[in-house]
Structure 1
Amino acid sequence: MAISSSSSSTKLVESLEQYDDAISWINDTLSAPESTNDLSGTSSTDLTELDQYITQLLTSLDIACEDTSAQLERIIDDVSRSVPRLTYDLHFMKDGALTLQTSLVDVLKKSKEAVPPETSTALDNLHHLDTIKTRMEAAREVLQEAESWSTLEMEVTSLIGERSYAKAAERLSEANKSMIVFQNTPEYDPRRALMVNLQNQLEASLSSALVSAINSQDVAVCKEYFSIFSIIQRESEFRNYYNASRRTSIVAMWQSASLSDSDNSSPDMNAPPQSFADFLPKFYTSFITLLNAERGSISSIFPDPSVTLSHFISSTFSALQPTFSQRLSSFASHHGETALSHLVDALRATEEFATGVWKIMEKMNYSDSRPPRQQAVPERPSGHRRRSSRMSISWRPGQQRPGSIAVPGGGPGDLNLENLEWDQELFQPFLDAQVDYASLERRFLDQALLDIISSDTRETSQQSVDQPRLFRERAVDLVGAAEGSMARCKAFTHGYGLVGLIQALDGFFSSFIDTWTVELESKPAAAQSYKFDSAESELELADLDYSAKDWSDIQLSLHLLASARTVSDRLNIFEAKLRSYLSQIASHFRLAQTDPQNFTIAATKGETQLLEQSTLNSAELFTLLSTVEQDAHGLSTPLPLSALHSGSFRTNPTQQQQQQPATPESLLVETRKSLSTFAKICQVSTQRTILLPLRNHLASYPSLSIWSAREDPKKSLATELQIPTFSLSPTDTVQRIAEGLLNLPRLFEVYADDDALAFSLQTLPYVDPEMLKNAVEQQQQHLDAPVNATQPGHHRRSSTVTFSKPAPIPIDPEVVSSTWLISLGHTFLNHLTTNVLPFIPSLSAPGVAQLGSDLEYLSNIVRALNVENEVLEVWRVAVNSEPADLRRDAQEAASDGKSDLIPLRVAKMRGLL
């Protein structure tokens, strides 16, 4: 609202008092002028007007503060002046009360003296006579009741014999009212026993006629009998007679069902067997037909038709043999691993039946003309939440915490909880299976995977298996099977099983990938031959020391790594769908919590109530839904409930810069770990094959004769004569290794456009994830920088690298090649310093010189590949050290108990220790 110059500070303070927080008041105060601005105005004009409004608002607030301070000072002054006078006022009031008390005593005394003694005596006599009369009337009533009880049995028996059931009921009702007279007396128990005996006689006399009237659907007679049963306080017995008689056909249908996948009590041998899933809708259809037929009769006979219908449904399900729970458990056991889909069908049929029952109850309420207070009106199924001793994460509207999402159980306002008993009786058998949803879902998915593998095995049993293609195809089938789990979770648990869904999917995907990882580790790499696509590339790399089998192994590992990348992309798409599904469930829960009359969780109140009180409604579910809603809004802090509900959350540009949308954490944590492990196995296999020729060259390196060669006498003479010497050339082995290392960049140029190399770079051995992340960020900054359009661009195909987040970050192929080369260099040097150099038996003086030359040469070569290896440097320094220095370092290592240090090993090789 615009703050005019005529607006008073009092009105401003009054408007501020209507808000709970100052931020909302400021936003509403400044938002109105924005909507009235001319749309064609410039942004500078809007900012100027906004600045004016803010200045005006600050001025008004200052005035209001001054006015408030002045008023507060005046109030304090008034109170300060009034407090000393308060003591005087209280003392004055006390004196007045004492004076009034004295006056009242005097008045009472004078009034007594004004009445003559004769009048006082007459009044006392009248009071005494009234007391005698009252006690005599009470004694007469007791004597009359005693006289009536003496003839009660004879009168009631006579009326029952005459079939005057209504009069007999009235007589018993009158006698029952007088039972209170005999309470706490020895006569109470005998008379109570007589009353019950006479009521039983009346009920027994009516039972056969009542059953006959119920079977013949004689509404008038049934209504008359119900009034008689009500008079003698036997309404429950009448309902039992009625329910037992009217449910006969439905109970018989249940008991005689011939089922092929569930327990039978006494099946009809003439009926063909059918599945429980096919029988249940037929059973419910017959039940709905019966309820529609009973709707009119119940409304005419009973004063509370909705409650009566609820009791009728509950008693019918309680009378089923075998029970619904037993038959449902047998049904689930019969179907084994695929039980979940069949249970979903059974639950869906049950929910359709429950919806039909609610429609019948609504019709009964609309057609009944009795006042609402005389009826038990069932509300629409809004998922009423009943108090439970178990901790619940549901929050009432007044208890809503900022940024939290309540998992509601329904709305308040239920006046009669008895209407829920049929509802809970109906859905209680499904509760155990719903609580065990995670296990059922995982078993269903595992069976789907087994079917997929069995199908693939039959198709590929007579031909060689293309492992990368098979891995991709099975992943496609797996994701397709997993997509159905969201619909099953919604249909079976109405969203309460989301935690179990995530656990089942994560375990399902990770188990599949782990199986491939184990298989890849246990089988030889070259299960199938792969060839280069380009003959030119093959000729270009012909000088590399690789066999056809080595090329096949490299190709196979890269194909598997590419398949892992494809599977990762497909999992990213599936996880996006899963996150969207979770967001929808969270929004639905929130709507049901804020508007329970129009939005419900499950089909009925009773079903929602059972789910809410179960262990599915847990703190984990609360956390999951809250996190999903926060991720959906791109915030790192919880979003207020009002903003989430109204969708009016707005921030200024500065806030938007401070609250950048964060990449959400993966929901499938174990799946991502398993996929990273699989990618690492593929990378290690690729590196092992690439470095195989270099390792073969090193096989004989520790046993070279140069290590134990004797020193040349001529060289000793030259040393004595101080003739200049030149550095030794590296051994042939080291030269071949150096050539192989320098040829590695050529190898990666062939695969520069292969996206498989960029997948999961952070799992490469000896790669620092922070260094890789910085390289990616620098590359991203370079790509985001403006580029001169006239400059010729090098359009190279870029790859992607993924960390723990699903969202990929672009990365240049040169960075990918460099990362692989660094990893290969460290891997090779680790093999050299761990499995080769320590096994050199001894070093003579020429051997020391030659090894120092080899290590120096290798150090320069690996630096060309951007590899800085500390262990290699320690070996090089130790080999080139003077004997005294090396002996000192080795002795220090020995004295510290560090017998595995490199100086100590080199000293032993050189014979210094």
Structure 2
Amino acid sequence: MASTKQLCESLEQYEDVIPWINDTLSVSDDSDETVDLVELDHHITQLLTTLDIACEDTSAQLERIIEDVSRGIPRLAYDLHFMKDGALTFQTALADVLLRSKEAVPAETNIALDDLHHLDMIKGHMEASREVLREAESWSTLEVEVTSLILEKSYAKAAARLSEASRSMVVFQNTPEYDPRRTLMVNLQNQLEASLSSALVSSINNQDIVACRDYFSIFSVIQRESEFRNYYNASRRSSIVSMWQNALLTDCEPTSSQPPGALAQPFVEFLQKFYTNFALLLNAERTPISSIFPDPAITLSHFITSTLSSLQPTFAQRLSSYNSHHGETSLAFLIPLLRATEEFATGVEKVMDKIESSAASTTQPRSSRIERPATHVRRRSSRLSISWRPDPSRIPPSERGVPTPSGGEVDAMEWDQELFQPFLNAQIDYGSLEQRFLEQSLREIITNDTRERVQDIDRPRLFRERAIDIFGVAEGSMSRCEAFTHGYGVIGLLHALDGFFQSFIDMWTADVRMESSGSSSLVQSSISVGELSDLDYTAQDWSNIQLSLHLLASARAVSERMATFETKLRSYLAEVAAHFRLARTDPQNFIIAITRGESQLLEQSTLNSAELNALLTNISNDAYSPLSAAPHSATLRAQNSAVAGPEVLLASARMSLSTFAQTCQASMQKTILSPLRQHLATYASSPVWGSPGDLKVTNSASDLRVPTFSLSPSDTVQRVAEGLLNLPRLFEVYAYDNALAFSLQTLPNVESEFLKTLSEPPPDTSSQSTRRRSSVAFVKPITLDPETVSSAWLVSLGHTYLDYLTKEVLPSITFLSIAGAAQLASDLDYLSNIVHALSVEHEALEKWKGYVSMDEEEGRRVLAEERSLDNVLQQVSKIRAWL
């Protein structure tokens, strides 16, 4: 074991105590074999002793510190009081010295000094006024001088003369002379620019770097730097703009003019060629721009931005046309475009790095830096302010302060914002695009499904095969989300996947509901019908039962596949959350997207929502939690409140799968109970209910009429009882079929408390071993035995059949005589004993039995005493004529 100091230092490196304990206890275990419990107990005892010693040492140090602070506080108050007294004394002494210094100087000397100061101020103002008046006087010859210099092609001298005149414009501000002189200044600058334009364009086209640098200096002097940049950018981008405008594309709107003989090509192929030529142009411009402009990185950024903004049709228009052309599957075609754009952006960043590295090696005067527009400052305020924030207390102190980028970095970043801006609307609409793509894939799968149904394919097997296709399509959704939104679209991804799986399963649920008996002949029974030949089932019934079982088995396979897919999905979300956390803690070295501009666009979009924040926070908190099991598994984990896990990601899909399982269970129960229901087809209309019976009158004081007919159960009830008692035989045949154990919580008329008791594990007598195991391993799932599953099904079938009896059959009896009531009471009592053998307790059946057994006097008394009339009592009173 490590020393106390080392253990305390290692504890500070963990955010959670449990991982530290596990890592500390596993330090001495170099093999993969399980640590012996005795040795583990020895390590735990030694660790507890070490921690106790550390706690005692910490407490002792804390007490010493408190004692030192307690002794030092009174001394601190005394020192502060002493410093205050010293400051007051110094202030008084300083005031006395100042007063004595003023009294030491004679009054005549003060007057003379004030006069000298006043005269010096007047002299300075007069000299400044003289200089300004000289500059203003030069305006009378300004136009002639500048015009003559332009004619002589002395452009530098003309620019210097205009610059001097521009500085004197402040003299005429707020005077009537200001506007005419301002107009004259602009006209002369326009003349100088017009005289330079042709030579400037020629120098730019000929790549005359020296001449371009001189012209740039002239334009900077006359405050026309932006016009020089416009000339330069327009001249150098002409080839790229023409290539874009003259492109003939097969999957976009045709442009207004096409060169003759041009070959059409897909947009993605053209875009790759366009980016290749654009990158070659940028590499060629790197050296001239670095030689001409004082800010080469910003200039190259503006060159890229101006080139992209001058494209006709615009990139956004062509992208919208491309999107409309590909329709429902446009997402799969947009991703290659974005990937090509990101590859181009990566190449441009390398060019930017080369420019910045070369610019850093040459120092430039601060005055040569060109001021940027105010819009850059506005963008700087929101730079890399990722809104997703985990718990601040869990952030290391060394990572809480992050330096902000400089202004030049923000300016040079604008090019990639202009580059990726056309994709932003599609990225924001990623959820809808993914949903449309998945729906189209589902329609294609359904088309194949319908085609194969005509060929009489086994439906349960077809359900499993189509589920494989569905999950195969869904597997690519995470890569599409990452490629197109870099994780910002995970909310739309979850909604699209949830709706995709839900639609697929709901289609099969509706199909099972409408055609529960259709195609049953295609399913071969896995048992010998002769074993149960005495049961009242036809060959069609056996086929329907087998079909329902196979569909439940397919649903179980789909549930397991969905749980596996959700595990992959949760792993992807954890990676996104970790990536976002790295980008937040170290934005200089980690970014969300390919470039900082693309990251900022996504960050400031509606994709970066509070819902995304909550999802990533929950995923981060559940990083070390066990994944929740499928809610329809045989372990009944969803019914056991003691087992907690992360929130289910595909809730609607799981609910649809639960509904599908419930539909299959209901169809199977309907088939199983169909012979028993047929026995009751004429039970309510039996003439025995209204028969008076063979009665004799006694001479007793009460004058009772005693029926003489037999009160044994009727033949119908005896046949029903035989059918109910045969149900356990039926489930003995299917007991080891795992399909019966799937989704027991959706069985009708089965209470959750009953299922919970079935799924509870046996208690562990060793609390110490349980506590140790829970800290290092997860609880194993509880597997139900076949007897437990059969019991749940028998309870459900019994309740379902008795509901049919008490809600539909018995209320259909129109009249009960005394003899009929006695017979019905005998039938219900016999039937109650039978269902008790199946562990079925049915409240309505007991009420019918109790109320029917009453004579007229007791029934009327109970009816009068009931404040709120029971529904069963009301029905019995009606057919017994008590009302």
Which TM class, normalised by the smaller chain length?
A: 0.7 to 0.9
1:348 aligns with 2:339: yes
State the one-letter code of the partner of 1:665.
Answer: E
Q: 1:664 deviation in Å?
A: 2.4
1:473 aligns with 2:456: no
Q: 1:724 deviation in Å?
A: 12
SS in 1 for 2:294: coil
Greater shift, 281-290 or 719-728, is seen at 719-728
Residue deviations 1:644-691 (CA, integer Å, cap 9, x gap): xxxxxxxxxxxxxxxx99432321000011011111111111111111
1:704 aligns with 2:701: no
Which residue number corresponds to residue 486 of structure 1? 478
Q: 1:302 deviation in Å?
A: 1.0
Which residue number corresponds to residue 251 of structure 1? 241
1:549 aligns with 2:540: yes
1:861 aligns with 2:837: no
1:677 and 1:514 mapped to 2: Cα distance?
8
1:195 and 1:884 mapped to 2: Cα distance?
120
Which residue number corresponds to residue 197 of structure 1? 187
* Counterpart contact for 2:525–2:542, Cα < 8 Å: no
* Counterpart contact for 1:354–1:423, Cα < 8 Å: yes
* Counterpart contact for 1:298–1:305, Cα < 8 Å: yes
Match of 1:811 among 780, 784, 787: 784
Greater shift, 152-161 or 32-41, is seen at 32-41
* Counterpart contact for 1:711–1:846, Cα < 8 Å: yes
SS in 2 for 1:778: coil
Q: 1:61 deviation in Å?
A: 4.2
State the one-letter code of the partner of 2:392.
Answer: Q
Greater shift, 844-853 or 500-509, is seen at 844-853
1:838 aligns with 2:811: yes
Which residue number corresponds to residue 909 of structure 1? 879
Does the C-alpha gap of structure 1 residues 716 and 349 become closer, same or farther in structure 2, counting only changes over 3 Å? farther
* Counterpart contact for 1:149–1:175, Cα < 8 Å: yes
SS in 2 for 1:752: coil
2:218 and 2:79 mapped to 1: Cα distance?
73
1:466 and 1:22 mapped to 2: Cα distance?
55
1:424 and 1:753 mapped to 2: Cα distance?
62
* Counterpart contact for 1:889–1:903, Cα < 8 Å: no
1:75 aligns with 2:75: no
For residues 436-447 of structure 1, the aligned pairs below 5 Å read: 436-447=429-440
Which residue number corresponds to residue 163 of structure 1? 153
1:377 and 1:553 mapped to 2: Cα distance?
82
* Counterpart contact for 2:15–2:394, Cα < 8 Å: no
Match of 2:392 among 370, 378, 400: 400
Residue deviations 1:585-635 (CA, integer Å, cap 9, x gap): 112222222233332210101110010001111111112112222222118
Alignment length (residue pairs): 838
1:527 and 1:72 mapped to 2: Cα distance?
88
For residues 873-888 of structure 1, the aligned pairs below 5 Å read: 873-888=846-861
Q: 1:891 deviation in Å?
A: 3.1
For residues 638-657 of structure 1, the aligned pairs below 5 Å read: none
1:872 and 1:457 mapped to 2: Cα distance?
46
Does the C-alpha gap of structure 1 residues 362 and 708 become closer, same or farther in structure 2, counting only changes over 3 Å? same
Q: 1:806 deviation in Å?
A: 14
Residue deviations 1:531-582 (CA, integer Å, cap 9, x gap): 65456x3111101011122112212222212111111111111111111111
Does the C-alpha gap of structure 1 residues 256 and 676 become closer, same or farther in structure 2, counting only changes over 3 Å? same
Does the C-alpha gap of structure 1 residues 577 and 825 become closer, same or farther in structure 2, counting only changes over 3 Å? same
Does the C-alpha gap of structure 1 residues 510 and 716 become closer, same or farther in structure 2, counting only changes over 3 Å? farther
Q: 1:355 deviation in Å?
A: 0.7
1:64 aligns with 2:61: yes
SS in 2 for 1:204: helix
Greater shift, 828-837 or 64-73, is seen at 64-73
State the one-letter code of the partner of 1:634.
Answer: S
Does the C-alpha gap of structure 1 residues 826 and 42 become closer, same or farther in structure 2, counting only changes over 3 Å? closer
Which residue number corresponds to residue 735 of structure 1? 718
Match of 1:227 among 212, 217, 226: 217
1:532 and 1:134 mapped to 2: Cα distance?
114
Residue deviations 1:319-356 (CA, integer Å, cap 9, x gap): 11111111101110111100101111111111111111
1:366 and 1:423 mapped to 2: Cα distance?
20
1:836 and 1:664 mapped to 2: Cα distance?
46
SS in 2 for 1:529: helix
For residues 890-901 of structure 1, the aligned pairs below 5 Å read: 890-893=863-866, 896=868, 898=869, 901=871
SS in 1 for 2:265: coil
SS in 1 for 2:839: coil
Does the C-alpha gap of structure 1 residues 280 and 865 become closer, same or farther in structure 2, counting only changes over 3 Å? same
SS in 2 for 1:598: coil
Q: 1:772 deviation in Å?
A: 0.8
TM-score normalised by L of structure 1: 0.84
* Counterpart contact for 2:501–2:653, Cα < 8 Å: yes
1:683 and 1:856 mapped to 2: Cα distance?
29
Does the C-alpha gap of structure 1 residues 737 and 806 become closer, same or farther in structure 2, counting only changes over 3 Å? farther
* Counterpart contact for 2:464–2:558, Cα < 8 Å: yes
Q: 1:363 deviation in Å?
A: 1.6
* Counterpart contact for 1:707–1:846, Cα < 8 Å: yes
State the one-letter code of the partner of 1:436.
Answer: D
Q: 1:194 deviation in Å?
A: 1.7
For residues 593-632 of structure 1, the aligned pairs below 5 Å read: 593-632=584-623
1:774 aligns with 2:757: yes
SS in 2 for 1:272: coil
Q: 1:869 deviation in Å?
A: 0.3
Greater shift, 42-51 or 501-510, is seen at 42-51
1:882 and 1:673 mapped to 2: Cα distance?
50
Greater shift, 96-105 or 325-334, is seen at 96-105
Which residue number corresponds to residue 363 of structure 2? 371
Match of 1:562 among 535, 553, 562: 553
* Counterpart contact for 2:323–2:334, Cα < 8 Å: yes
Greater shift, 258-267 or 349-358, is seen at 258-267
1:761 aligns with 2:731: no
Which residue number corresponds to residue 745 of structure 1? 728
Residue deviations 1:445-483 (CA, integer Å, cap 9, x gap): 01011111212333443x224221221111111110111
Give the aligned CA root-mean-square deviation in angstroms. Answer: 4.1
Match of 1:677 among 651, 659, 670: 659
Residue deviations 1:800-854 (CA, integer Å, cap 9, x gap): xxxxx99964111111111010000000000000111111111122211111110
Match of 2:414 among 403, 421, 424: 421
Residue deviations 1:198-256 (CA, integer Å, cap 9, x gap): 11110010011111111122111111111111111111100000011111111111111
1:370 and 1:665 mapped to 2: Cα distance?
58
2:427 and 2:735 mapped to 1: Cα distance?
52
Q: Percent identity?
A: 56
Match of 2:176 among 168, 183, 186: 186
Does the C-alpha gap of structure 1 residues 127 and 240 become closer, same or farther in structure 2, counting only changes over 3 Å? same
TM-score normalised by L of structure 2: 0.86
1:127 and 1:86 mapped to 2: Cα distance?
40
1:817 and 1:538 mapped to 2: Cα distance?
20
Match of 2:124 among 125, 134, 143: 134
SS in 2 for 1:701: coil
State the one-letter code of the partner of 1:691.
Answer: L
1:322 aligns with 2:313: yes
* Counterpart contact for 1:411–1:593, Cα < 8 Å: no
Which residue number corresponds to residue 646 of structure 2? 664
SS in 1 for 2:783: strand
